Structure 1
């Protein structure tokens, strides 16, 4: 399939997943993960009407961002080193990988210097896999309480990555767990505003994630292909 056909196919699958659980398709937004494709293909993605672009390394995305940043909404979805905050702050509309206090302090400091508020997702390692970034669920509430005091960080929601499974349905407990953590944060009023978003689900499991409440799905090869 070409790019247009892949996008249509994914949109159909998103709509079907929403229908299965009685959700509106408007509740789910696609992030086109373009880290493996060229600037030209990233431009094609935007030309097709997809607005949200996901990247995970500043040194790789820099030429794409410089050429196309005014056309899209940019999401930093990879592990963010503290010393790289200065490169991404103010350029990406969302940071999906806030997972430790040192990073929160650095984001807050640089956002304050720019006079902005940065939109972040708290990354939680729900599965407990050692290979995954993110804080342990039992540390979430203490960390969230610390972040709630930072004036230049706004928490949009929570993010997680499920383990790779041969059967996508095996990821369901991970996605359900993230939703339940978000709901608990809201019940306890940890933040002075509701946490509404769940960034979860990738090419192999996004339909299960949607059934469990995902509001953002991060789709790479399945959606945009792979070149580099």
Structure 2
């Protein structure tokens, strides 16, 4: 494992190569560094290398890092884990993005609890593209109505969709899931032509980001390839 700066450079080049291969515009895919279970010092090293967007799964851990790194300007914090109702206030107050909204109750709480002096909270709806009962996320079939309802909330901004497909499946199956997510985002754009910001597909991780980019990912979430293996 190289230095964090070297790793960021390597993953960034991989993203650029995949973007070019897919005939997509330069800089159309963003790297989200998944820093869960990693110390604030690792985030500081990544920030020194130019990385600004960081993904966290656990609210209390993230709040501690935010406090430790408050001297670094323009860090962007993304919540990417399952959301408990009793954690929505801290998420609404402290995060810039939430990728894992899967029901209206949570979206409404985030909107109600978003401070008035902050811009609307960027959110993605999480889709359980494998239809596995043990996974977070809602079904593709329920997305149109959920999106319609979320678009009515004043203090959140619906940006798109997120999915974490099972990596232990064939490339063909993975591609089909990424493609289904992209197709649903296009459906939402056509159904809500006046909605601004329906521009995000958060999909793809270290093992499948090239395929996800080929199918339209705009944010790829990478952790181990940047920071090394996490503690259990």
Q: State if a TM-score over 0.5 links the two structures.
A: yes
Match of 2:212 in 1: 209
Give yes or no for contact 2:178–2:203 (8 Å, CA) kept in 1: yes
Give yes or no for contact 2:80–2:100 (8 Å, CA) kept in 1: yes
Structure 1 window deviating more from structure 2 (59-68 vs 206-215): it is: 59-68
Match of 2:163 among 155, 160, 174: 160
Give yes or no for contact 1:125–1:132 (8 Å, CA) kept in 2: yes
Match of 2:102 in 1: 99
Deviation at 1:4, TM superposition (A): 2.2
Match of 1:175 in 2: 178
Structure 1 window deviating more from structure 2 (32-41 vs 210-219): it is: 32-41
Q: 1 or 2 for the larger relative contact order (CA 8 Å, sep ≥6)?
A: 1
Deviation at 1:39, TM superposition (A): 1.1
Match of 2:80 in 1: 77
Structure 1 residue 62 and structure 2 residue 63: aligned?
A: yes
Report the TM-score when normalising by structure 1: 0.93
Structure 2 unaligned spans of 5+: none
Q: Secondary structure at the match of 2:109?
A: helix
Give yes or no for contact 1:148–1:190 (8 Å, CA) kept in 2: no
Deviation at 1:114, TM superposition (A): 5.8
Structure 1 unaligned spans of 5+: none
Please identify which structure carries the higher helix content. 1
Deviation at 1:212, TM superposition (A): 0.5
Match of 1:19 in 2: 20
Match of 2:120 in 1: 117
